[in-house]
Chains A and B, each alone.
Chain A
Amino acid sequence: MNGIEADSALVVDSLCKSYATRSGAYPVLQRVSFTVPRGAFVSLLGPSGSGKSTLLNILAGLEPADSGVVRVLGRPPHAPLPVAYMQQKDLLLEWRTVWGNILLGAEIKSRAQRDAMAEQARELLREYRLEDFADVYPAQLSGGMRQRAALIRTLLCEQEILLLDEPFGALDALTRRILQRHLLHVWESMGKTVVLVTHDVEEALLLSTRIVLLSNSPGRVVDSLEINLPHRVRAQSTELLRLKTQIYRSLGHDEENIFQSA
């Protein structure tokens, strides 16, 4: 166990969570455990209702878990996690320009922090081809541009771990691909640790170094896959096809069965 933990950034151990309903406690997460190595790109993959978002909310410190531990190694057990959180909704503040929005996280820390981040903010805007839109309000941007601005804001929070809750779920397929490439680039160049929640099998396969599979309600970890292929070759890889079949099988969606019963 120590061997695994030594290079892990984030350890999630036996998380349980249930919500109170009229008919009693409804379990959402059941003894969920996994580790996220430092610098890894881990996807939490599962059908809707597998408690993925609840899990991410717990990691982000927005909800308490009923039992179990989440901690970052090298830090005191109950310290707030060094995470930046991003949702499917871009959550840009409509009354702030793009510039005001992307520096929100830094501004909340301190004014000095905001001034210190200005150079990096400009650089990211350039990289994401938003530099002409710094003074524009979010309402004037397309969905893809808004989501890019939200991603820049998340990066400028300067946290080690990025928690992304289906960040590209609302985008069209082409824009999603572009943003996925951006995200990969950020992950590689900035050395961040990424935890991505998704129900898109392809997305998980194309991006992650590890996939944690969650079953349907209550969410349990049913499998965990390592993907060691370089990202460049993945789209054409037959290995990926094999992994895809394995994922569907683990989630109880055997394609042969589906076609037989149809």
Chain B
Amino acid sequence: MRKTFFNRPELRHAELDAPRLVPAPGAGNDEADKAAPETTWRRVHLGLGRWIYPLALMAALIVAWEMVVEGFALPRYILPSPSLVGLTLWEKWPIFLAHTWVTFQEVVAGGLLGIVVGIGLALIMFFFLPLEKALYPFLIASQNVPVFAIAPLLVVWFGYGFLPKVLMAAIIVFFPITVSSLDGLKRTDPDLVRLFRTMGATPAQMLWKLRVPAALPALFSGLKISAVYATIGAVIGEWVGAGAGLGYLMLSANAQLRVAEVFGAIICLTPIGLMLLGVVILAERILLPWQRIARESRIGRRFELQP
């Protein structure tokens, strides 16, 4: 007897079970097929374009810079050529590395301190409304005081060492963290709060299962800003008084018109901020996988069930 669909029960089951996963009407098969070439192009575009375009721009700028310096025969104490900056970095790399390491430590320590203080402050303000009302104006006002104004005071109080730079970075970092996490905590969907109440959630459950997870995306926005700003704090701290660090290196080189070294220090400064930003973005991807998934599936719902 020929085997057909009807005398092979195992096949029949497969038939019944298989078609459960079908594309949503909005992202149906037809559309997906039509969109395929465009998607491939987009992927190439995103993968390469992300790096190729900025790298090309950078190369063009460096070439233009080199040509300007050569063409106008600018003295090296006004504007050194990029090749000279590269050479200086190459020849003095142990010095640059040592100072970068100092600044890096200050930035990381200051950033962590700022994060802890920032989140703590946000939690305190969230749970004690009078405290929020009392603190918030000061918090805003504190941001109108230029950090430069505080830096010399920190030197007077804490000397020329590691601590005032850490504090400087922390002072710059805590504000975006506090504001973003407080905002995140406050913007919990009130309907979700009501749902938790009907389920009989305790205040602790309300915090850990609802408010904190709901606030995390906002917190990460603050963290990204902070990762970039922390370096500024540390460098300012070094400018007003230090014996080491890239800010110190910059200032002493500047005073002696060794401008190529100033540029070298600036180049060493960038990867610190970029690295911290990278760590924050990586942490976000690991801790909030649902966010990326939500972003991606905004293009179209992934699944639709057959009725």
Which A residues contact B (CB, under 8 angstroms)?
57, 60-62, 80, 83-85, 87, 89, 91, 93-96, 104-105, 107-109, 129-130, 132-133, 136-137, 139-142, 144-145, 157, 174-175, 178
Asked if B293 contacts A140 (CB within 8 A), the reply is yes
**Is B303 close to A, CB under 8 A?**
yes
Which residue from A84, A93, A94 sits with its C-beta under 8 Å from B198? A84
Asked if A95 contacts B200 (CB within 8 A), the reply is no
B287-303: CB near A (< 8 Å → 1, else 0) gives 01110011001100111
Least CB distance, A136 to chain B, in whole angstroms: 8
Asked if B199 contacts A142 (CB within 8 A), the reply is no
Measured between beta carbons, the chain B residues less than 8 angstroms from A107 are 209
Chain B, Cβ-Cβ closest to A91:
B195
The count of A-to-B residue pairs whose CB atoms sit within 8 angstroms is: 81
Given A84-B198, A108-B201, A145-B305, the answer on whether A95 and B24 have CB atoms closer than 8 Å is: no
* Chain B residues within 8 Å of chain A by Cβ, number: 33
Which residue from A108, A141, A174 sits with its C-beta under 8 Å from B199? A108
Asked if A108 contacts B196 (CB within 8 A), the reply is yes
Which residue from B20, B191, B192, B197 sits with its C-beta under 8 Å from A132? B20
Asked if A93 contacts B297 (CB within 8 A), the reply is no
Least CB distance, B21 to chain A, in whole angstroms: 6
**Is B194 close to A, CB under 8 A?**
yes
Measured between beta carbons, the chain A residues less than 8 angstroms from B197 are 61-62
Task: Tell me what chain B mostly uses at the interface: helix, strand, loop, or mixed.
Answer: helix
Chain B, Cβ-Cβ closest to A146:
B301
Alpha-carbon distance A220/B23, docked complex (angstroms): 46
Measured between beta carbons, the chain B residues less than 8 angstroms from A105 are 199
Which residue from B21, B189, B199, B214 sits with its C-beta under 8 Å from A104? B199
Asked if A137 contacts B290 (CB within 8 A), the reply is yes
Which residue from A61, A129, A142, A144 sits with its C-beta under 8 Å from B20? A129
B258-281: CB near A (< 8 Å → 1, else 0) gives 000000000000000000000000
Asked if B307 contacts A174 (CB within 8 A), the reply is yes
Measured between beta carbons, the chain B residues less than 8 angstroms from A132 are 20-21
- A sample of 7 more A-B contacts (CB under 8 A), given A87-B191, A96-B290, is A93-B210, A95-B288, A104-B209, A108-B209, A140-B297, A140-B301, A144-B304
Chain A, Cβ-Cβ closest to B194:
A62
Which residue from A84, A91, A145 sits with its C-beta under 8 Å from B191? A91
